[in-house]
Amino acid sequence: MASLGKITRIEQQKHRKNRLSIFLDEAFFHSVADTVWVESGLRVGQELEEETWRELSEKHESRAAMDHALYLLGIRMYSRRELEQKLRQKGFEDAAIAPTLEKLEGYGYVNDAQMAQMMVREAQSFKGQGPRALRQTMIKKGMDGQTIAAALEGFDAGVEEALVREQLPALLRRYAREEDPRKRRGKISAALQRKGFSWEAIRAAMGEQDEQEEIQ
Residue 211 vs residues 82, 97, 107, 206: alpha-carbon distances, Å:
43, 55, 54, 10
Rounded to whole angstroms, what are the CA distances from 7 to 33, 39, 41? 16, 16, 12
Instruction: Please choose, from the candidates 11, 35, 12, 38, the residue with its C-alpha nearest in 3D space to the C-alpha of residue 23.
Output: 11
CATH fold group of domain 3-107 = Arc Repressor Mutant, subunit A (1.10.10)
Could you list the pLDDT tens digit for every one of the 216 residues in the chain?
Answer: 688 899 999 999 888 888 899 999 999 998 888 888 888 888 999 989 998 888 888 888 998 999 999 999 999 999 999 999 999 999 999 989 999 999 999 999 999 999 999 999 888 887 778 899 999 999 999 999 999 999 998 787 788 888 888 888 888 889 888 888 888 888 998 999 998 998 888 888 887 544 434 444
CA distance 207 to 168: 12
Domain borders along the chain are: 3-107, 115-205
Q: Give Cα 206 to chain centroid, integer Å.
A: 36
Residue type, 1: M
d(CA 111, CA 77): 9
Strand pairing of 27-33 and 47-49?
A: unpaired
Burial bucket for residue 113 (CB in 10 Å: 0-12, 13-18, 19+): middle
The pLDDT of residue 209: 44
pLDDT, position 210: 43
Q: Looking at residue 73, what is its pLDDT?
A: 96
